[in-house]
């Protein structure tokens, strides 16, 4: 059943995919040029003995995964309840709430994976990839995507006005992408701020992603990071499911 819901989203996406190429692909590319190449020239010593470009790219992959996943589970989910109301149409079909939720989540993972894969290709062209282990960033991206998408689904299914999404981006997404070790090591953050970064999902994705492309050991054990991200995904899913049920089963 989940498959049919995914199919619906893929068919709908076929009509608009060109527009999304810009935001989910060109923007990260520009970021890589602007920071990795531009600012990188001034980071003469590199970071942890690695050139700045090589250091920043795995972080940007994880960050792209987060941004695409949240972008695709915020406005579309709110719209599914408030504007186009697609969920109500799906609920009228013989689908369970979990099918509707999982089908849409599967689509978000699809979007996350394709965006990150494209980014990976470009990064390779810039010579920022050094081994086949770089491919391991893709499952990491999918996991990061799920860890942030599920709580976003829950949030977007709770609010009624889209200005609260702007608040989510300004108070959640942007700070997280700026302070999760993508651009500079979290170790240089002040104590309490560092702990906030540890608590949020993106830093774990960045660590895993960096371990994959640079072949360095992550801060926590590999399993620890994966488990922590799974915890976010699982808890988020439960919240989202509860919220979807409240709205769809009246």
Partner 1 sequence: MVTLILPRLISFEGAGRRSSSVVERNATTLQSSYWLVLASGFLEPVLYLFSIGVGVGRLIGDLTLPDGRVIGYAAFVAPAMLASSAMSGALSETTFNFFGKMKFMKLYDGMLATPLRPIEIALGELVWAMIRGALYAAAFLVIMVAMGLTTAGLAVLAFAAAVLVGFAFGGVGMALSTFMRSWQEFDLVASVQFALFLFSGTFVPAQAYPPVLRWVVEVTPLYRSVDLIRAVTTGSVGWRQALDVVYLLVLFALGLAVAGRRMGQLLCK
CB of residue 135 to partner 1, shortest distance in Å: 28
What are the start-end ranges of the H helices in 126-190?
Answer: 137-158, 163-168, 174-178
**Contact positions toward partner 1, by CB under 8 A?**
16, 19, 22-23, 26-27, 30-31, 33-35, 38-39, 41-43, 45, 47, 52, 161, 163-164, 166-167, 170-171, 174-175, 178-179, 183-184, 188-189
Q: What is the signed CA dihedral for 89, 109, 59, 237, rounded to 10 degrees?
A: 70
- For the chain, give the longest Cα–Cα distance: 61
The three-state secondary structure class of 47 is strand
Nearest distance, CB of residue 176 and partner 1, angstroms: 10
Nearer to partner 1, 16 or 92 (CB): 16
Q: How far is the CB of 167 from partner 1 (least distance, A)?
A: 5
Q: Which is nearer to partner 1, 52 or 87 (CB)?
A: 52
For 23, other C-beta atoms within 10 Å of its C-beta total: 13
Cβ at position 138, least distance to partner 1 in Å: 25
Q: How far apart are CA 51 and CA 42, in angstroms?
A: 11
Give the nearer residue to partner 1 in terms of CB position, either 170 or 246. 170
Nearer to partner 1, 52 or 237 (CB): 52
Which of 98/189 has CB closer to partner 1? 189
Closest distance of CB 22 from partner 1, Å: 5
What one-character-per-residue DSSP string does 91-103 give? Answer: HHSS--HHHHHHH
Q: How far is the CB of 210 from partner 1 (least distance, A)?
A: 16
Residue (10 or 29) nearer to partner 1, CB: 29
- Eight-state DSSP code of residue 132: G
As beta bridge partners, residue 50 has 47
Contact 12, 110 (CB under 8 A): no
Q: How far is the CA of 111 from the CAs of 101, 118, 202, in angstroms?
A: 16, 11, 17
């Amino acid at each position: 059943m989940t498959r049919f819901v995914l199919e619906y989203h893929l068919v709908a996406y076929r009509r608009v995919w060109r527009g999304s190429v810009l935001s989910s692909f060109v923007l990260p590319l520009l970021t890589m040029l602007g920071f990795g190449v531009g600012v990188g020239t001034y980071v003469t010593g590199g970071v942890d003995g690695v050139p700045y470009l090589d250091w920043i790219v795995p972080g940007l992959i994880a960050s792209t995964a987060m941004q695409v996943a949240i972008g695709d589970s915020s406005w579309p989910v709110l719209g599914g309840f408030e504007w186009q109301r697609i969920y109500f149409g799906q609920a009228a079909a013989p689908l369970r709430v979990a099918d509707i939720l999982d089908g849409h989540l599967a689509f978000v993972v699809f979007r996350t994976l394709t965006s990150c894969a494209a980014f990976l290709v470009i990064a390779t062209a810039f010579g920022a990839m050094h081994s086949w282990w770089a491919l391991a960033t893709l499952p990491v991206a999918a996991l990061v995507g799920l860890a942030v998408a599920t709580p976003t689904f829950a949030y977007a299914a709770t609010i009624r006005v889209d200005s609260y999404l702007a608040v989510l981006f300004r108070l959640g997404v942007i700070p997280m992408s700026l302070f999760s070790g993508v651009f500079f090591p979290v170790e240089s953050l002040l104590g309490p701020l560092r702990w906030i970064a540890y608590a949020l999902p993106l830093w774990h994705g960045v660590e895993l992603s960096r371990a994959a492309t640079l072949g360095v050991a992550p801060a926590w054990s590999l399993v620890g990071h994966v488990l922590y991200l799974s915890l976010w995904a699982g808890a988020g899913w439960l919240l989202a499911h509860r919220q979807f049920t409240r709205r769809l089963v009246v």
